[in-house]
Structure 1
Amino acid sequence: MNRIKSSILITLFWAAMISVASADDGPKIRLLIDSDANNETDDQHAIAYALLSQDRFDVEGITVNKTHNGGDVDEQMAEAVRVVKLCGFYPQLPMFKGANGRFAEILPHIHEASYDGKEAVDFIIAQAKKPSDRKLVLLPIGKLTNIALALAKDPSIIPNVRIVWLGSNYPQAGEYNMTADLNCIDYVLSLPVDFEMVTVRYNDPSGSWGVKAFQQDIFDKMPGKGPKVDLKIEGRHGGSFGNFGDYSVSLYQHAPQHGDPPFRSFFDATAVAVLKNPGLGKAVEIPRPALHNRGWLDRPKNPLKMVLWENFDSAAIMTDFFKVIDAATPE
């Protein structure tokens, strides 16, 4: 197939996806979120965005992992629990601790009775094996370790899942989620599993770095917003909160800001946005590259393909996020 025909088919495919995603009566997306929730501020907002977009997602659970920042899996889980409580989904939403360590060091132990990340890995496998006419979407918004371990432990789940990963500066080198565990990325890319990569691209508006949540917008639009909870939840930086909106303000008060006017990139929430509505970004199918040191080596003849997400509509994503939070706020 020549490149022109391939491009046309990809365009038609994503047009169909957008139509399905926009339909009120379309099937909900089965979603399992894998997060380093205590890393900075984007994970918390991505989790809230997905949980409160109940018209599009059936969130089946959350697993956590450790990356460089935010402490071990206990601290990552504590932050995820805060957000889930503030969104009104606790304790009914299943939540499991995953890997502290990296893929290569854990892999030899995955068939033992106990190993680092076992709870999350077993949960991912169990959800993927549930009978369904819909694939389970795995949304890793941290490192890929838990996902890679699940695929390694039970490859039979490969046809049942679709992976949408927030990570990499592709085609440039580096990126936080990628360098947190390099070995697992090459492993996942080698498998015949549906794989999509939502680019980060620091300081490049074509990546999710360009989707900006301005601090003043958070201060103006989030106070008091979201479901109300009966118990006051202690925040990451102290204080107590009865809704996610007030906690969002606290996160943005304490997090270092960038630029003028001050902002933080909405990295992880961007992955939720394009999964919810593919029209909020551009999807391009490419042959899967390989890792080379901390960069990428293109393999144009690789028969395994993946979807690359870029060129996001920042304004539309932020508008939809605030709309979702507003809709979840009691009158």
Structure 2
Amino acid sequence: ALAYAFLNSEVFDVVGVTVNNTRNGDGIQGQYDEALRVIQLFNLENKIPLYKGADKSYAEIVPFISDTVFDGKPAVDFIIQEAMKMTDEKLVLVPVGKLTNIALAIKKEPEIVNKIRVVWLGSNYPGPGEYNLDNDTTSVNPVIESGVPFEMVTVRYGEPSGTAAVTVTREEVSKFLSGKGPKSEIAITGRHGGTFTCFGDYSANLFEHAQMHGNPPSRALFDMAAVAIIKNPDWAEKKEIPAPLLQGLEWVGQTDNQNKIIIWENFKRDSIVNDLFQLIEESTPE
């Protein structure tokens, strides 16, 4: 998702990156290190700021948000700072993990609700569960109920209608990404070892180590799809619904709710994936 945003520098003005910790994330430092690797591969270190966000959940952190130090504070303060700068347009936040940092930022400075648009890669709506949602269920309702412009880019494992269907195989990654991308000024050490000087090679290495699913064996580019539909809303279908309530892991409809949210589904897999392949090809030095 980060690489795709960086490759789209003519479309997106990335003001910063915040991370948070999820179960498979190797701790908050592991999340930070991985984001930094991608930033370095695009020669953007010291140009695009990177902040550590929440390790624990919203419910665990929220009692402490008035303290001088609390879990996730660097990211929370950065979100507030950047949002408050906005006058004519909204700052688009694209959480591709749990919603904790954003929920905390809204709680700490409610004024940002009118200055941000939240596009979340999360949930199997209307079905229960999903990795990003499960990692902090306590952060979901506070964001939705704040009235912030909120869009859910659905995952829906095993169904054709969610980002889980925006898949690529190892063979495709090897063919279209290996050796591709800008050449980095410094060689980075990968999460699984090895050294890399372009994002294409690193992504191929990540795919070698990642678990594949389905037939043919492939992996979904969930997070990237969330960024892609901001670039081109025609690459998926969106519908407005009365904002639901999360009870436990289940969604409960609230048909008379005046607060509305947007649901994204039915993603155009080929358009999204081919855009990545074309962009990284164009960014590769001769």
Give the TM-score range, shorter chain.
over 0.9
Structure 2: segments with no counterpart, 5+ residues: none
Tell me how large the CA RMSD over aligned residues is: 0.8
8 Å CA contact retained: 1:85, 1:91: no
Indicate yes or no: 2:184 matched with 1:229: yes
Residues 1:322 and 2:277 are matched in the alignment: yes
TM-score by length of 2: 0.98
Aligned to 2:34: 79
1:296 partner SS: strand
- Which digits, 9 at most, give the CA deviation of each residue in 1:19-58, with x for residues without a partner? xxxxxxxxxxxxxxxxxxxxxxxxxxx1100111011100
What is aligned with 2:157? 202
Gaps of 5+ in 1: 1-45
Counterpart residue number, 1:249:
204
Which residue of 156, 163, 172 corresponds with 2:127? 172
Distance change in 2, residues 1:131/1:144 (3 Å) = closer
Out of 136, 143, 163, the residue aligned to residue 118 of structure 2 is 163
Query: Equivalent residue for 2:256?
Result: 301
- Runs of 4+ with deviation above 4 angstroms: none
Does residue 120 of the first structure (1) align with residue 81 of the second (2)? Answer: no
TM-score (normalizing by structure 1): 0.85
CA distance in 2, matches of 1:154, 1:161: 12
**Could you tell me which amino acid in structure 2 is paired with residue 83 of structure 1?**
V
Shift in Å, 1:71: 1.6
Contact kept? 1:169, 1:202, Cα under 8 Å: yes
Structure 1 position 201, deviation (Å): 0.4
Contact 1:287 1:299 in 2 (8 A): yes
Mapped to 2, the partners of 1:225 and 1:133 lie a distance apart of 37
Q: What is the DSSP-based 3-state SS (H/G/I as helix, E as strand, rest coil) of the residue aligned with 1:140?
A: coil
Task: Please name the residue that 2:141 is paired with.
Answer: 186
Q: SS state of the match for residue 276, structure 2?
A: helix
Is 1:109 the counterpart of 2:64? The answer is: yes
One-letter code aligned to 1:117? G
Query: How far, CA to CA, are the matches of 1:290 and 1:213 in structure 2?
Result: 33
Partner letter of residue 47 of structure 1?
A: L
Helix, strand or coil at the partner of 1:150: helix
Deviations 1:88-107 (A, max 9, x none): 21121111000000001100
Amino acid at match of 1:294: L
Letter aligned with residue 123 of structure 1: F
CA distance in 1, matches of 2:208, 2:83: 38
Partner of 2:223 in structure 1? 268
1-side partners of 2:163 and 2:26: how far apart? 24
Which residue number in structure 2 is paired with residue 23 of structure 1? none
Instruction: Determine the structure 2 residue equivalent to 1:38.
Output: none
**What's the CA shift for 1:304?**
0.2
Q: Is the 8 A contact 1:86 1:233 kept in 2?
A: yes
Q: CA offsets per residue over residues 234-268 of structure 1, 9 Å max, x none?
A: 00000000000000110011111112222101100
Task: Give the aligned partner of residue 96 of structure 1.
Answer: 51
**Residue 231 (structure 2) pairs with residue 290 (structure 1):** no
Work out the percentage of aligned pairs sharing the same amino acid.
Answer: 49
Contact between 1:225 and 1:329, CA under 8 Å: does it hold in 2?
yes
Contact preservation (8 Å) 2:43, 2:185: no
Amino acid at match of 1:251: L
Equivalent residues of 2:86, 2:115 under 8 A apart: no
Measure the CA separation in 2 of the matches of 1:187 and 1:209: 26
Distance 1:164 1:230 in 2: 32
- The 1-side partners of 2:128 and 2:241 are apart by 17
Q: Provide the C-alpha distance between the structure 1 equivalents of 2:230 and 2:172, rounded to a whole number of angstroms.
A: 24
Measured after TM superposition, the shift of residue 70 of structure 1 is 1.8
Q: Which amino acid aligns with 2:67?
A: E
2:163·2:267 contact (CA, 8 Å) conserved in 1?
yes
